[in-house]
Amino acid sequence: MTVDLRGRSYLNELDFTGREIHHLLELAARLKGDRCAGTEKPRLTGRHLALLFDKASTRTRCAFVRAAADQGAATTFLGHGDTHIGVKESVADTARVLGRMFDAIAYRGSAHTLVTDLADHAGVPVYNGLTDAAHPTRSLCDVFTMREHSRKPLTDIAYCYLGDARNNMGNSLLAMGALLGMDVRIAAPSRLWPDPVLVADCRARAEGSGARITLTDDVETAVRGADFLYTDAWVSMGEHALPACSPRLRHRRGRDVLHNYGLDALEVTDAVFSSPASIVFDQAENRLHTVKAVLVATLED
């Protein structure tokens, strides 16, 4: 049976099935191959995408802009303060306006309820470019990158997230691995584990996919035998990093941590970040290909 995602929003990994996620991964691989071979053909000519970004971004914004352009679509960027959303106009009203003018909306901000409200009222696909609860375009890219750098099938790949796992990336990596039958390890003090409701949902999905889910405060146990290690900003809701991810924290609060505790790195050291084991820039490039797959799958006629 053919997977048909036309008209679908992409707000949270668990809104999709494992089969649908596999479809996006395969499509991303084909699109990347076509681009590298110089044979890519636009499938979204005449489409127009609104980028509603309440938070700054490098990788996510550039990925959406370039992915759309490669496929013949246009983008309009609406940054913080560029609309009346939540001030003079409700989220629902803004969604209805944008839905009348655009073929899809990408949102990046804080409250997850805002992106779900947009999707409920826009009448066009809405994509979650980051909220406090989830970062599904990022987790899709991360799994795609792991797949490229391993000869194992996804179901045999083990990855470990180390750090505050209550945030969007902890949630998204747990959910994505549960859907795809992977070996997912979370290494953090128990008070920093993902929400128990999400954990229970992911364990239920794991029963069908064969995923192995481990939450532990024992770092040595968590990393033993892992194929990929993933860490995050020590100050949550900064940009993220991994020796399978990106970038290092540079904001003021991060510098304060470095100074106050005598540290020379926050997430990974420069030696690790720049080592042959680091695949952070492959992961950064792959944001383009996986975002493109989401756009093509949901917007192509």
Q: What is the pLDDT of residues 270-286, one digit of tens each?
A: 777 778 888 999 999 99
Average pLDDT (122-136) is 97
Indicate the pTM of the whole model. Answer: 0.89
- What does the mean pLDDT of the chain come to? 90
Q: Would the pLDDT of 236 be above 90?
A: no
Looking at residue 40, the DSSP 8-state letter turns out to be: -
pLDDT value of position 240: 41
Q: Show the domains of the chain with their CATH numbers.
A: 13-134+288-295 (3.40.50.1370), 150-278 (3.40.50.1370)
Confidence of residue 248 (pLDDT cuts 50, 70, 90): very low
The tens digit of pLDDT for each residue in 157-177 reads: 999 999 999 999 999 999 999
| 168 in Cβ contact with 109 (< 8 Å) | no
Question: How far apart are alpha carbons 173 and 115 in whole angstroms?
Answer: 19
pLDDT value of position 1: 60
Q: Which of 154, 230, 143, 138 shows the shortest CA–CA distance to 186?
A: 230
| 181 in Cβ contact with 158 (< 8 Å) | no
Q: Would the pLDDT of 238 be above 60?
A: no
Furthest CA-CA distance within the chain: 57
Confidence of residue 142 (pLDDT cuts 50, 70, 90): very high
Q: Which residues contact 251 (CB under 8 A, 6 or more apart)?
A: 235, 238
Confidence of residue 244 (pLDDT cuts 50, 70, 90): low
Which residue stretches of the chain are H helix? 18-37, 59-70, 91-101, 112-122, 136-148, 168-180, 196-209, 219-223, 252-261, 270-273, 280-299
pLDDT value of position 88: 82
Confidence of residue 251 (pLDDT cuts 50, 70, 90): very low
Neighbour count for residue 100 (Cβ, 10 Å):
10
The tens digit of pLDDT for each residue in 37-57 reads: 999 999 999 999 999 999 999
pLDDT value of position 270: 74
Kindly state the percentage of the chain with pLDDT values over 90.
79
Average pLDDT (30-40) is 98
222-235: burial string, b at 16+ Cβ within 10 Å, e else: beeebbbbbbbbbe
| 130 in Cβ contact with 57 (< 8 Å) | yes
pLDDT value of position 277: 80
